[in-house]
Chains A and B, each alone.
Chain A
Amino acid sequence: MTTQHRRRATWGLAGLLAVASGAAFAQGAVAPEYRWLTFAVFAAIIGVTMYVTYLAAKRVKSASDFYTAGGGVTGLQNGWAIAGDYLSAASFLGIAGLISQYGYDGFMYSVGWLVAYITVLLLIAEPCRNIGKYTLPDILAYRNNPKAMRIVGALSVITVSTFYLTAQMVGGGVLVKTLIGIDYEYSVIAVGVLMLSYVLFGGMVATTWVQIIKAILLVAASLILVMLVWTPYGFSLPGFLGDVVADPKVQARVAALIGDPAKNMSAAELGQRFLEPGLYFKNPIDQISLGMALVFGTAGLPHILMRFFTVPTAQQARKSVVWAMAIIGGFYVLTLFLGFGAAKHVGPQAIAAVDAGGNMAGPLLAQYLGGGPESFLGNFMLAFVSAVAFATIVAVVAGLVLAAASAIAHDLYVGVYHGGDVVPPQQQVRAARIATVIVGAMAITIGIAAKGQNVAHLVALAFAVAASANFPCVLLTLYWKKCSTGGIVLGMIVGTLTAVFLTLVSPNVTYPKAVREAAQKVFDGEAAKRGAIEAALASGDAVAIAKANTELAALDKAVKKAKDDVAKVAGKETSLLGLEKPLFTLKNPGIISIPLGFLAVLLGSLLFPDRRSLAMWPEVYARQNTGILVSKAASH
């Protein structure tokens, strides 16, 4: 690290502290008097990761160091880093939240995220390591027309990364606000500046270590919580779950979810229903469509693919996926206990009261297990989990920004603009750093601009595009002799456009007319409900009055929400694309767009065969299977 770099790093850190100290505070889950605890824990995490970045920055001399840590990461380290890259706040807090709110369906949701790695392990990781260099377009450009591949490949990398990044920035901003109470804009800037200081100075070396440290913290925090939750039951699964379903809060939640049929069910039956499917997922086809996007999309995520270029050999790539599967799968099994534990101890209603999506299940469980909101230990544990959540967002964003920046600097600038001519290493690293700043600034800007937008479906869309465009292109270029430049270009275009188009005409976007109709129903039913509640309040029966008060609060909330919804769509008649109602009824486009992506590569390749793609096939075929020359290339 040169003095100049060190000075710049110091400025970055100073800027971050200025942002943190100048931030306006709102109400957060962490009580104001314990906020210093969160900052102390988080400062410790920042301190360690900054020191690692400082050490890493000395080692970043070439483009290879910046993009792939010089290929010097071990399989075990890479396994942890993949887990750190993959376990976003959505899976850390979101899945535990989903389980706490909907029981079984939340757990079922987590399975696809692990099974996805079987596709990565069996079909993608090793061949990519054998023929790729830094980025996803490298793989495509090996046998097909390099310029065309770098353009479509880079565009796809940027598209997928931007969708994912937007979801992370907005979700991260909201989470940090909910947890610690820092204003949304400052949260986004803090995440962005911190991430930039890792990536900019430490490149892939620092990013890898940030991901490893975060993954270890995440697993350690979850393990401690699960130990505390499960030990009282002597590690008996039926004992623990039996207590969960016997809990009145859980039974009340199920009754609220299923409505009328609940009247004929006993308390025990209601509780048991929490362990049965169908409380969250209503449309099995939609769920299969989502499953397809997960299982095939992970293998097409640019920031995950990039991780396989950081290890020296195919064997290490394989080892890293196996480790990643052990860590990620183990983490989801722990999540089962966190989610059900939070439902029992904190209660689904109390969790939803802090955050409607249930995201606070894990942090609130930590607080409860430490001794509750009044105790020091409880607040310490909440502060710790909040700090880990913050680190989680930063680590995932760093991986995404690195992937998008590499597509701009390595593929577009060096590959297309310089036509693959030899660009001096110094200049390549500078290009990568400039691209990083551009992508980082873009991420912060989008994050602030998208405030208040519902971006949850953007992660599913990123997976859908990766599964429909990147996955068929990478798979067929590796395994199919007749695959050609034309096929890849067509596949990328068709896969991306169908996935995006189907999402834009799906129930994910807002349809003003439908919103008004739904709100009208609430308004129409309001008078009758109020009448019934007033009658109950006047009855004098304590149980009925308590019940009526809960109903009254719920009704007021529903009416307020309906009014807000109507206000949001005021003056609008149709959706973004001018539709009154969804054209495509599924929320997830995968079941249509993935086969179309494959079909486009097949047809494009057969219609537009090209000589280079065919001539290079023996080399790709031989290399991806045997790793010829890889070990030698890695050793110098």
Chain B
Amino acid sequence: MANAPDIDWNAVIADPRFQALHRRKQGFLTGLMIFSVVFYFLLPIGAAYFQDLFKTKVWGVVNFGLLFALGQFVVAWLVAFYYSRRAGAEFDQAAAEIAASYEKKGRG
């Protein structure tokens, strides 16, 4: 992976296709990241300051707190699944197109 002086990197990042990809990706990632972090910290905060809610029995002896902690696993998996689907369906293709056109240009 040596430096590739034959690719004009400034042209790549100025390319409207690159900027469109970057904009969509950035927004999507930031949103998903903030959601995940906030959702996770609801667990220790809830366990400390909303004990009555966490102790409420909802399914036999199983209380809300336990379901919420189990829900953390489900949500983490859903986030991972959602991200990889969206990235696979949308971002990868756009990135590959950009890469292909510049790798070809660089060589020619």
Give the B-binding residues of A (Cβ under 8 A). Answer: 104-105, 107-108, 111-112, 114-115, 117-119, 121-123, 133, 237-239, 241-242, 245, 272, 275-278, 281, 284, 287-288, 291, 295, 315, 318-319, 321-322, 325-326, 329, 332-333, 336, 618-619, 621-622, 625-633
Report the separation of the CA atoms of residues A241 and B37 in the bound assembly, to the nearest whole angstrom.
29
Question: Cβ of B66 and Cβ of A104 under 8 Å apart?
Answer: yes
The docked-state distance in angstroms from the alpha carbon of A291 to that of B95 is 34
**B61 contacts A626, C-beta separation under 8 Å:** no
Q: Are B87 and A281 in contact (CB under 8 A)?
A: no
Partner of A628, one of B72, B77, B81, B102: B102
Evaluate contact between A628 and B40: CB separation under 8 angstroms. Answer: no
Q: How far is the CB of A317 from chain B (nearest CB, A)?
A: 11
Contacts A284-B47, A626-B18, A628-B12; A104 near B65 (Cβ below 8 A): yes
As a 0/1 sequence over residues 10 to 39 of chain B, the CB contacts with chain A under 8 angstroms (1 = contact) are 101100001001100100010011001100
The DSSP consensus for interface residues of chain A is: helix
User: Which of A114, A237, A315 is within 8 Å of B62, CB to CB?
Assistant: A237
A276 touches B65 (CB 8 A): yes
- Residues A333 and B48 in contact, CB atoms below 8 Å apart: no
1/0 per residue, CB under 8 A from A, across B53-94: the answer is: 011010111110110011011001101110110011000100
With A284-B49, A321-B80 already in contact, the answer to whether A238 and B1 are too (CB < 8 A) is no
Please measure, in the bound complex, the distance between the C-alpha atom of A367 and the C-alpha atom of B87, giving whole angstroms. Answer: 46
Partner of A625, one of B22, B41, B76, B84: B22
A322–B80 CB distance below 8 A: yes
B26 vs chain A, min Cβ distance (A): 9
Given contacts A107-B69, A118-B76, A295-B37, contact A625 B25 (CB under 8 A): yes
Within the complex, what minimum Cβ distance (angstroms) separates B67 from chain A?
A: 9
Contact A277 B47 (CB under 8 A): yes
A321 to chain B, nearest CB (A): 7
In the bound assembly, the distance between CA atoms of A461 and B11 in angstroms comes to 43
Q: Please judge, given known A-B contacts A238-B62, A315-B88, whether A630 and B1 are in contact too, CB under 8 Å.
A: yes
A632 touches B73 (CB 8 A): no
Nearest B-chain residue to A630, judged by Cβ? B1
Bound Cα distance A325, B72 (Å): 12
The docked-state distance in angstroms from the alpha carbon of A633 to that of B18 is 21
Is the beta-carbon distance between A115 and B36 smaller than 8 angstroms?
A: yes
Which residues on the B side are within 8 Å of A239 (C-beta)? Answer: 60
Contact B76 A325 (CB under 8 A): yes
Q: Is the interface of B mostly helix, strand, loop or mixed?
A: helix
Cα-based distance from A625 to B77 in the complex (angstroms): 24
Contacts of B79 in A (CB 8 A): 118
Q: How large is the interface on B (under 10, 10 to 19, 20 to 34, 35 or more residues)?
A: 35 or more
Are B33 and A122 touching (Cβ within 8 A)? yes
Instruction: Check B43 against A108 for contact (C-beta < 8 Å).
Output: yes
Q: In whole angstroms, what is the CA distance A315 to B85 when docked?
A: 11
Q: Which of B33, B43, B54 contacts A276 (CB 8 A)?
A: B54
**Bound: A389/B83 CA distance, A:** 34
Contacts of B33 in A (CB 8 A): 118-119, 122-123
- Decide: A121 and B66 in contact? CB cutoff 8 A: no
Known: A242-B60, A284-B45. A111 touches B40 (CB 8 A): yes
Q: How far is the CA of A393 from the CA of B40 in the complex (A)?
A: 29
A329 touches B77 (CB 8 A): yes
Contact B1 A288 (CB under 8 A): no
The answer on a CB contact under 8 Å between A237 and B65 is no
Q: Do the beta carbons of A333 and B70 come within 8 Å of each other? A: yes
Known pairs A104-B66, A277-B48, A618-B13; A629 contacts B73 (CB<8 A): no
State whether B65 touches A118 (Cβ < 8 A).
no
Top 10 A-B residue pairs of the complex, sorted by shortest distance between their CB atoms: A238-B60, A284-B48, A277-B47, A618-B9, A622-B12, A633-B1, A626-B95, A619-B9, A628-B99, A115-B40
Q: Which residues of B contact A295 (CB under 8 A)?
A: 37, 40
Cα of A291 to Cα of B98 in the assembled complex, Å:
38
> How close is A362's CB to chain B, nearest CB, in angstroms?
19
A-B contact pairs, 24 of them (CB 8 A): A104-B65, A111-B69, A115-B40, A121-B83, A121-B84, A122-B32, A123-B33, A238-B61, A276-B63, A281-B44, A284-B44, A284-B45, A284-B47, A288-B44, A295-B40, A318-B84, A321-B80, A322-B81, A618-B10, A625-B22, A627-B95, A628-B4, A628-B7, A628-B102
Which of B36, B48, B81, B88: most chain A CB closer than 10 A?
B48
What residues on B are CB-neighbors of A114 within 8 Å? 72-73, 76
If A272-B61, A318-B87 touch, does A121 touch B80 (CB 8 Å cutoff)? yes
Contacts of B92 in A (CB 8 A): 315
Please, which residues of chain B bring their CB within 8 A of the CB of A272? 57, 61, 63
Is the CB–CB distance between B44 and A291 below 8 Å?
yes
Q: In whole angstroms, what is the CA distance A333 to B10 when docked?
A: 48
Q: Do A618 and B12 touch (CB < 8 A)?
A: yes
Q: CA of A66 to CA of B99 in the docked complex: distance in angstroms?
A: 29
Closest to B3 in A: A619
Q: How far is the CA of A278 from the CA of B43 in the complex (A)?
A: 12
